[in-house]
Amino acid sequence: MEASRKPLAKIEGRRRLRLSRLTVAWRGTPNLDDWVAYIVNGTKSKKLILADRVSERKVKTLLGRIHAMPKKDVEKLAKG
């Protein structure tokens, strides 16, 4: 008989960037490289993905870097 396993916890968050006035959201599972960060608003037709299938550390580092960037630079950094 197999023991039942607790499902892995998902973490989500959002942050509004002061300078660019964009809202960036992220989600993932601790200790796994399945994190994604994307721009929620500021785009007309689709979400712009900033990071996909990366570690939690890379997402947090990215958020720190783009915090002081203008809107045009943040959107240029994102993948369409």
Q: Residue 31: which residues within 8 A CB-CB, separation 6 or more?
A: none
User: pTM of the predicted model, to two decimals?
Assistant: 0.82
Does residue 50 lie in a domain region?
Answer: yes
Q: Is residue 3 part of a domain?
A: no
Residue 4 falls within a domain, yes or no?
A: no
**Per the domain annotation, does 5 fall within a domain?**
no
List CB contacts of 67: < 8 A, sequence separation 6 or more. Answer: 17, 18, 19
Range of the domain at 22: 11-77
Instruction: Check residues 66 and 80 and name the one with the higher pLDDT.
Output: 66
Count of structural domains within the chain: 1
Asked whether residue 2 is assigned to any structural domain, the reply reads no
Mean pLDDT for the chain?
88
Predicted pLDDT at 41: 80
pLDDT tens-digit series, residues 24-53: 999 999 989 999 999 998 555 567 899 999
